[in-house]
Copies of this chain bind each other. A is one copy, B any other.
Amino acid sequence: MIYRGELTVATRGRGTYDITREVARVVGASGAREGLATIWIAHTSASLIVCENADPSVRSDLEAFAARLVPDGDKLFRHDAEGDDDMPAHVRTVLTHASLSIPIANGRCDLGTWQGIYLWEHRKAPHSRKITVTVIA
């Protein structure tokens, strides 16, 4: 069985957005008991990550790390058509994930206790981001 659900996430600019509940809703709607949920983000300047879900400082530290690793306005980059965060957003996307495949057990995403699923917006401006969840069961 293949079931497909779509999510649209309105971001408020750079940062991590918890989509665990939205993904769970699609898995629930699919009726799957055992199987696999594959999440896909249809963009090249926002990505998917699995991250600790308890202490918000984990995600602000992660943001600080990304800002140091791939700084906005880096002189290395020539591609800046959309601003100084344009190319850094592409690099941050490549270094993280376009797809994630999560097992389904007992009708739910079989996440570890501390695992949350996040959309990571890498652009500074708000964007509307499209995510697809494909359930195979």
In the complex, how many angstroms separate the beta carbon of A26 from the nearest chain B beta carbon? 12
Stretch at the interface among A7-15, A17-25, A31-39: A31-39
User: Do B61 and A103 have beta carbons less than 8 Å apart?
Assistant: no
User: Do B100 and A98 have beta carbons less than 8 Å apart?
Assistant: yes
User: Do A130 and B103 have beta carbons less than 8 Å apart?
Assistant: no
Closest to A69 in B: B69
User: Do A40 and B103 have beta carbons less than 8 Å apart?
Assistant: yes
User: Do B58 and A79 have beta carbons less than 8 Å apart?
Assistant: yes
Interface of A is mostly: mixed
In the complex, how many angstroms separate the beta carbon of A87 from the nearest chain B beta carbon? 5
- Chain A's interface size range is 35 or more
Task: Please give, as numbers and ranges, the residues of chain B lying within 8 Å of A99 by CB-CB distance.
Answer: 100-102
In the complex, how many angstroms separate the beta carbon of A121 from the nearest chain B beta carbon? 14
Q: Mask for A104-137, Cβ within 8 A of B = 1, else 0?
A: 0100001110110000000000000010101011
**A residues bordering B, Cβ < 8 Å?**
2, 4, 34-36, 38, 40, 42-45, 49-52, 55, 57-58, 60-62, 64-65, 68-70, 76-79, 81, 87, 90-91, 93-103, 105, 110-112, 114-115, 130, 132, 134, 136-137
